[in-house]
Amino acid sequence: MPIQPLPDTLVNQIAAGEVVERPASVVKELVENALDAGAARIDIELEEGGVRLIRVRDDGGGIPADELPLAVARHATSKIASLEDLERVATLGFRGEALPSIASVSRFTLSSRVAGSGHGARLEVEGGKAAPVLPHPHPLGTTVEVRDLFYNVPARRRFLRAERTELGHIEDWLRSLALARPGVELRVSHNGRLSRHYRPVADAGERLRRLAEALGDDFTRQCLQIEHAASGLRLYGWVGLPTAARSSADQQFFYVNGRAVRDRTVAHAVRQAYADVLFHGRHPAFVLFLECDPRQVDVNVHPAKHEVRFREQRLVHEFIYRSLHEALAGARAGAVGGEPV
């Protein structure tokens, strides 16, 4: 075969292989877009574990009608415009590839209205082919509808699991999000029934309520609140006492500048801090937020953005280890270092 450029839809479908693994990845991308748009309330409707339908509606800033085709165009984004922007990016998205990828492997509809516009507009894409933008009534904000995920990619469809399993992945991810964004109201329904409702939390004092809603009272009754800052880094959150340790690592939430990440440096520092207080084979429970200058951390490591790279890895490791070690040692001695909550 001669060398030839790939058709756009195929390029998007190839990218979808990295960004869209299963319904939960679609929910993640759509909800992150809603958060980037400043939404205070996000409604998520699912059918059949998200395979049949994922509908995400937000009350954020919306998309102007004439920009709808760009929203589903590859590498088009409103979030960065230069390398400088990329290096200090504060939004969850910036690659401009989630919507085109998702739209290339589903029956996709994007509806939106911005402030100052009398009516909304709507754009339909089926299997990557966009229809013309049409006027469509819509409240302020955006609704994205994704139907029949992978209907045109049988190889992917075969990897989807049972409805329960896919729903479980979605709920796990939403739990992680609910912990990070207590001020945002999240409603989730599955097959027409409300399955989760995280009510918005108004202030820091109420934050434990969201924590309990997401992780249960067992965690909130056996955790320490920590807060520690040094060398331009700040770590805060809740660490489970040894009595809250679990047989699996299912209650471990770590965020870097508001983004849930899996990172080996972090994992190692946490494990080391707990080493003295936990039995082998037990896993600590924690919800921790690390804040640092965005220029100190590269989030552009993988399309799905689960991973980050710290510029000063050793410093970060040491800081996390020390913060947790002190808090846990204090707890053991019954002294300060963290107030039991």
Interface residues with ligand ADP (CB under 6 A) are: 29, 33-34, 37, 58, 60-63, 71, 77-79, 93-99, 142
Choose between 97 and 163: whose C-beta lies nearer to Mg ion: 97
**Quick one: 175 or 305, whose CB is closer to Mg ion?**
305
CB-nearest residue to ligand ADP: 93
At position 153, the amino acid (one-letter code) is V
Q: Of 64, 88, 87, nearest to 78 (Cα)?
A: 64
Smallest gap from residue 1 Cβ to Mg ion (A): 34
- Minimum CB separation from Mg ion for residue 57, in Å? 16
Q: Which of residues 62-101 bind Mg ion (CB under 5 A)?
A: 93, 98
Give me 204's structure tokens. Answer: 């820091």
Q: Is 125 helix (H, G, I), strand (E, B) or coil?
A: strand
Instruction: Tell me the window of 29-37, 133-141, 182-190, 313-321 that interacts with Mg ion (CB under 5 A).
Output: 29-37
Residue 74 Cβ vs ligand ADP, minimum distance, rounded to whole Å:
8
Tell which one of 13, 25, 33, 252 touches Mg ion (CB under 5 A): 33
Comparison of 95 and 325: residue with beta carbon closer to ligand ADP: 95
Give the count of residues interacting with Mg ion (CB under 5 A). 3
| Residue ranges of E strands in 204-312 | 223-230, 233-240, 252-256, 259-260, 286-291, 297-298, 309-310
Shortest distance (Å) from residue 167 CB to Mg ion: 22
Q: What is the full DSSP assignment across 25-56? A: HHHHHHHHHHHHTT-SEEEEEEEGGGTSEEEE
Token pair for residue 174? 């939403």
87 and 295 in contact (C-beta within 8 Å)? Answer: yes
74-88: buried (b, 16+ CB within 10 Å) or exposed (e) per residue? Answer: eeebbbbeeeeebee
Supply the minimum distance, in Å, between the C-beta of residue 70 and ligand ADP: 7
Q: Which residues of the shown chain bind Mg ion in the complex (CB under 5 A)?
A: 33, 93, 98
